[in-house]
């Protein structure tokens, strides 16, 4: 078990803010401090809180790429999310691939795929779940199925709250450490979104028998219906670093091109730099 912990930390980093075993939150979330659990629409629902997919009616296809400079890691991600059914039931599928060659050593490649559903109960209460399969190229060739579950509540039209429980089936490897994510989201003005999130991973051997809580937050503004601007930051309890993030999007009626960036700015010498780019296509459904 200790060997797995060390290998995961060297290659992909410990799971800090995401339900995904490969520690991927999505390009839009990354630009907002890795938040969005309280308003996890589209691809963010697959990664952060499956219940959020039913908050908006949309059909989105997304493809992303992320570079992690410190460990020379490359992450590819693709997803389809459809919440346009007559009852606003949301569904999505995704695949995430990560490859790294830390310190010039042998290359490691990991895979994760998932299927998620969300169910609305009126306009204020939403439930969702994600079934995930992962295959990790570690010393034990770990693989298996695990599950996330989430709830989103919308007490006011411009205010939502979400909670998600990650990895209900513990596969006894660091990338599937059990945890809970929670967040609130507010829309204080048209085309402006503000989020505040937290993630707690419970005490276990993979956490050094400590309960670790990360906090993060950010904001997004859509200018002239064409330019998305994002900024955020937080505290990463796994790396014990504070970080800042930023992002931009070029948006049209057919889709969006997204770019986001994270830089660790305080804490230990184990500072990380992440750069992510993504393409979203908005599918029109008659």
- Strand partners for 156: 159
pLDDT in tens, the chain (286 residues): 333 333 334 444 544 446 665 678 999 999 999 999 999 999 999 999 999 999 999 999 999 999 988 777 899 999 999 999 988 899 999 999 999 876 666 777 899 999 999 999 999 999 999 999 998 877 667 889 999 999 999 999 999 999 999 999 877 776 678 899 999 999 999 999 999 999 998 877 655 678 889 999 999 999 999 999 999 999 998 888 999 999 999 999 999 999 999 999 998 777 889 999 999 999 987 6
Q: Which two tokens stand for residue 63?
A: 């493809």
Question: According to the model, what pLDDT value does residue 21 have?
Answer: 57
Are 120 and 152 in contact by the 8 Å Cβ rule? The answer is: no
Question: Residue 228, SS3?
Answer: strand
Continuous H helices in 177-216: none
> Domain ranges in the chain?
2-282
For residue 281, the tally of other CB atoms under 10 A from its CB is 13
d(CA 181, CA 233) in angstroms, rounded, equals 16
CB 81 within 8 A of CB 130: no
Burial 211-227 (b: 16+ CB within 10 A, else e): ebebbbbbbbebeeeee
User: What is the number of H-type helices and E-type strands within the chain?
Assistant: 3, 14
Q: 2-282: which CATH number, 2.40.110.10, 3.40.710.10, 2.40.160.40, 1.10.287.130?
A: 2.40.160.40
Q: Please, what is the end-to-end C-alpha distance for the chain in angstroms? A: 52
Whole-prediction pTM: 0.89
Structure tokens at 112: 């994760």
Question: What per-residue confidence (pLDDT) applies to 19?
Answer: 60
Which secondary structure element, helix H or strand E, spans residue 110, and what is its range? strand 108-121
14: exposed, middle or buried (C-beta count within 10 Å: 0-12, 13-18, 19+)?
buried
C-alpha closest to that of 222 among 184, 197, 187: 187
Burial 243-258 (b: 16+ CB within 10 A, else e): bbbbbebebeeebbeb
User: Measured over all CA atoms, what is the biggest interatomic distance in the chain, rounded to whole angstroms?
Assistant: 53
Segments in 25-128 forming alpha helices (H): 27-31, 43-47
What is the pLDDT at residue 139? 61
Tell me what pLDDT residue 87 has.
85
The whole-number pLDDT of residue 129 equals 98
């Amino acid at each position: 078990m200790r060997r797995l912990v060390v290998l995961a930390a060297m290659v992909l980093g410990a799971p800090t803010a995401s339900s995904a075993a490969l520690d991927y939150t999505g390009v839009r979330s990354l630009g907002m401090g890795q938040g969005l659990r309280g308003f996890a629409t589209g691809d963010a629902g697959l990664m952060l809180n499956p219940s959020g997919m039913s908050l908006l009616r949309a059909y989105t296809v997304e493809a992303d790429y992320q570079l992690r400079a410190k460990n020379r890691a490359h992450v590819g991600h693709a997803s389809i999310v459809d919440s346009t059914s007559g009852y606003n039931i949301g569904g999505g599928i995704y695949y995430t691939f990560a490859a790294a060659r830390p310190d010039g050593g042998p290359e490691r490649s990991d895979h994760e795929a998932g299927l998620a559903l969300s169910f609305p109960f009126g306009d204020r209460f939403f439930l969702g779940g994600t079934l995930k399969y992962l295959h990790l190229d570690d010393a034990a060739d770990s693989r298996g199925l695990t599950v996330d579950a989430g709830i989103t509540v919308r007490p006011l039209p411009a205010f939502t709250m979400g909670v998600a429980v990650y990895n209900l089936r513990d596969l006894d490897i660091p990338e599937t450490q059990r945890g809970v994510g929670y967040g609130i989201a507010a829309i204080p003005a048209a085309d402006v979104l503000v989020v505040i999130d937290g993630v707690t991973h419970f005490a276990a051997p993979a956490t050094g028998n400590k309960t670790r809580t990360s906090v993060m937050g950010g904001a997004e503004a859509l200018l002239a219906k064409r330019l998305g601007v994002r900024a955020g930051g937080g505290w990463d309890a796994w790396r014990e670093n504070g970080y800042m993030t930023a992002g931009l999007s070029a948006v049209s009626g057919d889709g969006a091109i997204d770019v986001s960036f994270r830089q660790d700015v305080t804490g230990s010498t184990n500072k990380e730099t992440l750069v992510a780019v993504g393409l979203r296509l908005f599918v029109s459904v008659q």
